[in-house]
Amino acid sequence: MTIPLLPRIGALVLATTGFYAYVGQMVPQNEVQPPPTSIVIPADLTADQMATVGRQIMDTKGLCFTCHTVGRSGALRFPDLAGVDERAKTRVPGLSDVDYFAQSLYEPEAFIVPGFNPGMPVINRPPIGLTDQEILCVIAYLQSLGGTPTVTLQTAHRYYTPPAAPGGAPAPAAAGAAPAAAGAPPAAPGAPPAAPGVPPAAPGGLPAPAAPGARPGAPPAVPGTTAPARGTP
């Protein structure tokens, strides 16, 4: 019995598709997610917690381990980061480890490690675009490689100055100004200061009541003098 050509071609296609589908299911499937665009960084992180976040940033958004390694030797594309904090303190004269790391991230071509070629991107610009706080966390992690993290989210360096804390101190009083008496109402804007010894006006702008026994219309007595006797012209 001869099988027509078209059924044979169809059977071959089905058999081939089924075989590759079976082989494809045997290959481990790993779901790859794009790196996060931002990482939540609480304001109260300790230096050690920042180092943990920094490692996470380098693994994901920072893409640092695309080129860098930790604990590898031999032919490397970029310097290995094992023990990097000790080397960072002496790489550039006058720069601390924090300053050196900041320069390496914000201005990577300012210093090239001998034996390597330039090529690291500016880390706070696209396509990576880390924020200043994320970079501080990365610096904390780099400090932990051979040292102890010391940076905080309030650490300033040449490329970043943290914003001032909210709720500044009240403005100081003018020089020579006497403190207001407790419970006294504030003076009206633009009103001249009261002369020494003159009693304040009554509320509402009315004149202060005269002393007992004073003649109506008589000028107020000057402080320190004796008032005229009643009935004296």
Q: What is the rounded CA–CA span in Å between residue 88 and residue 86? A: 6
Nearest CA to 55 out of 154, 179, 164, 141 is that of 141
Integer angstrom CA distances of residue 193 from 18, 197, 224: 99, 12, 21
Domain ranges of the chain: 47-70+78-144
3-state class of 160 per DSSP? strand
Highest mean pLDDT out of 68-77, 160-169, 188-197: 68-77
Spatial CA neighbour of 85 closest among 153, 160, 141: 141
- Reference 229, options 215, 217, 219; nearest CA is 215
> pLDDT tens for residues 90-116?
999 999 999 999 999 999 999 999 999
- Is the pLDDT assigned to residue 181 strictly greater than 50? no
Instruction: Report pLDDT for 33.
Output: 52
Q: Which fold has domain 47-70+78-144?
A: Cytochrome Bc1 Complex; Chain D, domain 2 (1.10.760)
- Residues ≥6 apart with Cβ < 8 Å to 41: 50, 53, 133, 134, 137, 153
pLDDT, tens digit, for every residue of 44-87?
999 999 999 999 999 999 999 999 999 998 889 899 999 999 99
How big is the CA angle at 220 (ends 216 and 226), to the nearest 5 degrees?
A: 105
Mean pLDDT of 221-230: 46
